[in-house]
Amino acid sequence: MKKLTGLTILILLLAGCKWNPLHDAKGPNQQPSNEPSYLSENENIEQDKQQTEKPTSSGMTKEKEPPDQAEEDELALEAAYFNEVIEVDGKKEIVNAANTLALVNKTFALPVDYTPDDLVRPNVPFSFGNQDIEKSYLRKEAAEALEKMFAAAKKDGIQLYAASGYRSYSRQQEVFEAEVAQSGEKKAAQVVAIPGNSEHQTGLAMDITSESANFFLNEEFGKKPEGNWLQENAHKFGFILRYPKGKEKITGYQYEPWHFRYVGKEAASVMYERNWTLEEYFEHASKI
């Protein structure tokens, strides 16, 4: 009788123990789990869910979202839009200089003899009047976009003035040397590109000013209605604010609210929406 009572008690005790599915999940050659046997029911369910979750029809598990195809398309560029570079006298020189997305900065330079073959004078107001001089020119595509941008600004009650567009290598050399004489070479390199490394030589950049800024090119322009309008609308016409505030370490230049670079509407919109510089854009772009 005592044996029967003891056996009954043992059966009742075993029936009261909690079953842990982790024990049954192990095969004969698997190492013991480090997990304690007193996991809560919710924890056990969660582990079972992770172990048994199957791939979706796209081949991705539910934890991983598939890549955004629209974003991939936006950042896919033909190889021709990336710099083709050769080493010349210790400089990284851009071979495909006519590329509208050419990345010209302190690292990548244009050839000494590069001059765009499609320079035209845009029909816009200039801060220096009607003088037909070198800096009043831009490449045709950029010039047409500038005209549309100035016209749209005028409809919004904003009067813009073009101040300086295309600049040859020799002219850039004069500008740089004048700045060196005035403030020293180290300071000059922060505000003026050395010859060959200036975006103005591409014929795709235009410095813009206004009467409210006394036709100066300074940081105050960024606080004027004209400067604000450009920062919010230039991308709609294919231009980017090339040297924005807070990005000095990336661009290598101080904030220049007057300097706008033509890159085309598609690329300009991507950079505007993501608050990217041209350097950052190429960090994310992929070749196709």
pLDDT digits (tens, 9 = 90+) for 250-277: 999 999 999 999 999 999 999 999 999 9
pLDDT of residue 66: 53
Catalytic residues: 256
Give the per-residue SS3 of the chain. CHHHHHHHHHHHHHHHCCCCHHHHHCCCCCCCCCCCCCCCHHHHHHHHHHHHCCCCCCCCCCCCCCCCHHHHHHCEECHHHCCCEEEECCEEEECCCCCCCCCCCCCEECCCCCCCCCEECCCCCECCCCCCCHHHCEEHHHHHHHHHHHHHHHHCCCCCEEEECCCCHHHHHHHHHHHHHHHCHHHHHHHCCCCCCCHHHHCCEEEEECHHHCCCCCHHHHHCHHHHHHHHHHHHHCEEEEECCCCHHHHCCCCEEEEEEECCHHHHHHHHHHCCCHHHHHHHCEEC
φ, ψ for residue 199, nearest 5 deg:
-65, -25
Domain 69-287 listed as CATH 3.30.1380.10: yes
| Number of C-beta neighbours around residue 39 at 10 A | 17
pLDDT of residue 284: 96
| Tokens 């595509």 belong to residue | 141
For residues 242 and 277, what is the distance between their CA atoms, to the nearest angstrom?
7
φ, ψ for residue 30, nearest 5 deg:
-85, 150
pLDDT of residue 6: 45
pLDDT digits (tens, 9 = 90+) for 135-158: 999 999 999 999 999 999 999 999
| Tokens 């410095």 belong to residue | 207
CA end-to-end distance (rounded Å), the chain: 86
Please tell me the pTM assigned to this model.
0.76
pLDDT along the chain (288 residues), means of 10: 44 41 36 38 43 40 53 88 95 97 97 97 98 98 98 98 97 94 88 94 98 97 98 98 97 96 98 98 95
For residues 218 and 42, what is the distance between their CA atoms, to the nearest angstrom?
63
pLDDT digits (tens, 9 = 90+) for 165-193: 999 999 999 999 999 999 998 888 888 99
pLDDT of residue 49: 42
Which tokens go with 109?
Answer: 């330079």
